[in-house]
Structure 1
Amino acid sequence: MHVEIRERLRGALQPYGFQICPFQVGWYNAVLDPIFHLPHPGDTLAFVVLSTPSMFEKAFKPFLTEQKLQSLRDPIDQCVSHHMTLAKELFSSHQVDVIYDYELHPNRRPKVLMQTAAHISGAAHYYQKKDVPEDPWGSRKMFGVCIHPQYGGWFAIRAVLVFTDVRAPGLEQAVPIDCVPSREDRIRLLENFNFNWRDGKYRDVLPAEEKYSEEQALYFSTPPAERMKLLELWGHQPPSPPC
């Protein structure tokens, strides 16, 4: 069953620039402390959803033209939610929980650690401080970052879909491709990400098959509070103010 679900889900999302990778909930839970566990049996089927560079043209721009934006929500989040909802409707006979990258518990803990989900599904390799032998940072905290074998850092992890009523005991775990194998490159990657992430150099740790367009890079480098103004400049109508 998991193969059929994967192909239907891929058919719904891939044309819009999304990539999906399946995993078992147990793989995710096995590498995390219990406080982060997803509350489902270990062989429950789930998918991590990535947006690739083409999502901006294939999904986001058409969404801006065809849908009415909500003033209090990020436009990209609205677009992703729109497509996840459409995909979920294809599986009306199943219970599908959609968890977005920005969703938090009341105590501000993320509902899903998206980079961990991407790593254990094989979608992208999650590079962390512990992956650098004899790291040069001492006790300094260093945040990890996922790198995609095709897109480098030019992608985003948007959601996890959990098919809570589907078991996939036969699903084989894919190993994420180690596309930054050298210690020196890992140091450069983590330092660029932690100290200079705004300039985006960490994204180019390897030659990417596809990158964000200039327009897309400008959009994502613009502070979220100012993105509506940018969309206005591009000719998209802002949402009407609430009555």
Structure 2
Amino acid sequence: MVGNLDDIGDYNNYVADTFKMPYDPDTAAVLVLSTPTMFDVSFKKWFMQKRKEYKTMEAVVENVPQPIQMFVESRLEPLRKKLDDANIDYEVFYDSSLWPNRKPKILLQTCGH
């Protein structure tokens, strides 16, 4: 995975009002993207650890219903802990983060450009 540091103001300058983030323009924003090697190296290693932990593929399927999401969460956990320990407020959005009306919370394609 790779990260890109920017600020909310840059994002808000490119999106329609309905997608603007309600934060100070100077608020830091970090975009984390997966790379092809993430799957071939990191995810496979993580998945094989789960396979070893749960013994059977059936147990993995039962205990790891969303493997990609759980893998990403496991990778973000050390960062979350550091931010929590430093009393830094943060919010995490995923490409699947939606409001109740099914509108995306953030346009990640815009963040990547």
TM-score band w.r.t. shorter chain? 0.7 to 0.9
Aligned with residue 99 of structure 2, among 105, 109, 113: 105
Give the length in aligned residue pairs.
100
Aligned 8 A contact 1:25 1:41 in 2 = yes
Mind listing any 5+ residue stretches in structure 1 that lack a counterpart? 1-17, 120-243
Instruction: Confirm whether residue 116 of structure 1 aligns to residue 99 of structure 2.
Output: no
**In structure 2, C-alpha distance between the alignment counterparts of 1:29 and 1:114, rounded to whole Å:** 12
2:10 corresponds in structure 1 to 27
Q: Distance in 1 between matches of 2:99 and 2:93?
A: 11
Residue from 24, 33, 41 that aligns with 2:24: 41
Instruction: Give the corresponding residue for 1:59.
Output: 42
* Cα distance between partner residues in 2 of 1:59 and 1:101: 20
Match of residue 84 from structure 1: 76
Which structure is higher in strand share? 1
Aligned-pair CA distance for 1:70: 2.6
Pairwise CA distance, 1:100: 0.9
The answer to whether residue 33 in structure 2 is matched with residue 50 in structure 1 is yes
Question: Residue 87 and residue 58 in structure 1: after superposition, are their counterparts in 2 closer, same or farther (change >3 A)?
Answer: farther
| Structure 2 Cα separation of the partners of residues 112 and 44 of structure 1 | 15
- Once the two structures are TM-superposed, the CA of residue 65 in structure 1 deviates from its matched residue by 2.4
Identity %: 33
- Match of 1:90, SS state, is helix
Aligned-residue CA RMSD in angstroms? 1.5
Flag the structure with larger Rg: 1
**Per-residue deviation at 1:109?**
0.7
1:166-185 to structure 2, matched below 5 A, reads none
Closer, same or farther: CA 87–57 of 1 in aligned 2, 3 Å:
farther
Give CA deviations for 1:128-159 in whole Å, capped at 9, x if unaligned: xxxxxxxxxxxxxxxxxxxxxxxxxxxxxxxx
Distance in 1, matches of 2:28 and 2:94, equals 17
Q: Following TM superposition, where does structure 1 have runs of at least 4 consecutive aligned residues deviating by more than 6 angstroms?
A: none
- The aligned residue for residue 89 of structure 2 is 95
Task: Tell me the TM-score normalized by structure 2.
Answer: 0.79
Q: Secondary structure of the residue that 1:20 maps to in structure 2?
A: strand
TM-score by length of 1: 0.39
- Which structure features the higher share of helix residues? 2
Q: Distance in 1 between matches of 2:111 and 2:100?
A: 21
